[in-house]
Structure 1
Amino acid sequence: MEIILSREITERIPNFKVGIIEYKNIIVGDSPQMIRGRLQLFQESIYFDLENKNVSDLPGIQEWRTIFKTFGKDPNRYRPSVEALYRRVQKQNYLSSVQSAIDINNFFSLQYQVPIGIYDLDSLNGPVCIRLGIEGDEYTGLNGRINSLHHLIVSSDIQGPFGSPFVDSDRAPVTLATKNALQIIYLRPLTDDENSKRLTESLMNMFTQIHGGEASFEIVRCP
């Protein structure tokens, strides 16, 4: 799948980059006990770490709130998806196991304080462009609401936007029937290239350990 990163984003945030992982012939199912247990224990650890702290002061959350502000979105109204996860954990509204692909997505998003999207590749029609949403861009999100995407970073194919570091659409979710998937890691711009590659490859390796199949990754940034 060809991935294009809009210069409109990188002109404002020169170090902006995304990790892209493409999976083929995977098997999605219930999470192994190891994954369910690690997700639960990690959330409990985060909860205690957040005592007497503001979620918005965490480095990754702070960085993504700044990105939203840079493009004209109030992060108090439009929270990055990773911040929403952290706020749930802070309230002890822990994420329960959904299925293997979503659980790993949530685990890595919490671990690295970055938004991560995963999509059924067979539901997309490339190329995929990561760009700024324009007036009129909207979709029904996984939150069940129609979401305006104006001034938000979006991932879009020839049918229009399907994902965002705010909330993903309901058009291309990974399900138990998914065989091929595309994962987008909205990396922190301050993360250097070497650590960006290490993070992305680590996620890819854990994912394929659980789901089988073949995978490849790349870091996409403005040339």
Structure 2
Amino acid sequence: MEIKISPEIKTLIPDFKLGIIQYKNIVVSESPQMLKGRLRLFQESIFFDLEDKNVSDLVGINEWRQIFKKTGKDPNRYRPSVEALYRRIKKQNYIESVQSAIDINNFFSLQYQIPIGVYDTKQISGNVTIRIGNENEEYLGLNGRKNSVHQLIVSSDEEGSFGSPFVDSARTPVTEETTSALQIVYLRPSLHIDECSKLTESLMNMFIQIHGGEGNFEIID
């Protein structure tokens, strides 16, 4: 599977880059207690850190809000997914364990203040382009609603868009039936390429530690 970034995004955000991880022969299941515990403790730590802070002032979240503005989307109406997680935690509405793949996504997303998407490769048709959503383009999201992706960054295959740093679609989610997956790490443009590689490799290694199988990663810019 080939993944590429559209020229339109690179024009608007010259330093835009992604971590791409592809997995095969994985086993997705209930999260081990170690991961559940780390996710809970980290959220409690974030809650106390946010007592005298605004979520939108956090460096990583603010950077992603600026990206939404550059593509033409109001981040006060369409928040980056990681900001939505942080806002839940600030209200002490902690994120519960879902399953192993989603829990790792949430943990790393919170740790690095970036959106991360994970998708069942078997539900993706052909190659993937990261582009900006078109007018009237929408999909049924994991939030249970039809979501307009006009002017949002989207991941798109031959059937259309299926993912976004706002909310992913209900067409390609990883489930306990998934054996191969694509993970898209929406890196902060300000991060140096070496930091991006270390972050992405760290995520891949933890994912394989929990799910088995094999993985390979690359940074595309």
TM superposition score category, shorter chain reference: over 0.9
Give the structure 1 partner of residue 93 of structure 2: 93
Q: What is residue 36 of structure 2 aligned with on the other side? A: 36
Q: Say if 2:166 is the partner of 1:185.
A: no
Task: State the partner residue of 2:163.
Answer: 163
Whether 1:209 and 2:209 are equivalent positions in the alignment is yes
Gaps of 5+ in 2: none
Cα distance per residue 1:93-117 (max 9 Å; x no partner): 0000000000000000000000000
Secondary structure of the equivalent of 1:11?
helix
The amino acid of 2:210's aligned partner reads I
The within-5 A match list for 1:1-223 is: 1-221=1-221
TM-score, length basis structure 1: 0.98
- Per-residue CA deviation, residues 142-200 of structure 1 (Å, 9 max, x unaligned), is 01110011100000000000000000000010000000000000000001100000000
Aligned partners of 2:145 and 2:39: how far apart in 1?
27
Structure 1 CA distance for aligned equivalents of residues 129 and 72 of structure 2? 20
**Counterpart Cα distance in 2 of 1:3 and 1:136:** 24
TM-score (norm 2): 0.99
Once residues 80 and 20 of structure 1 are traced to their aligned partners in structure 2, the CA distance between those partners, rounded to angstroms, is 19
- In 2, Cα distance between equivalents of 1:71 and 1:215: 31
Distance 1:45 1:187 in 2: 23
State the distance in 2 between where 1:98 and 1:73 align: 29
**Sequence identity of aligned pairs in percent?**
70
Structure 1, unaligned runs of 5 or more: none
3-state secondary structure, aligned to 1:94: coil
Tell me the distance in 2 between the aligned counterparts of 1:64 and 1:57: 11
Quote the offset at 1:12 in angstroms. Answer: 1.1
Distance in 1 (CA, whole Å) between partners of 2:193 and 2:92 is 34
Q: What is the CA–CA distance in structure 2 between the aligned matches of 1:42 and 1:166, rounded to whole Å?
A: 22
CA deviations over 1:191-213 (Å, ceiling 9, x no partner)? 11000000000000000000000
Q: Which amino acid in 2 is paired with 1:178? A: T
Mapped to 2, the partners of 1:126 and 1:87 lie a distance apart of 35
Separation in 2, partners of 1:126, 1:16: 23
- TM superposition shift of 1:136: 2.0
Amino acid of the structure 1 residue aligned with 2:215: A
Residues of 2 paired with 1:63 and 1:10: CA distance? 16
CA distance in 1, matches of 2:14, 2:21: 22
Q: Which runs of 4+ in 1 moved over 4 A?
A: none
Structure 2 CA distance for aligned equivalents of residues 202 and 114 of structure 1: 15
CA positional deviation for 1:4: 1.0
Q: Which whole-Å CA distance do the structure 2 matches of 1:136 and 1:98 have between them?
A: 31
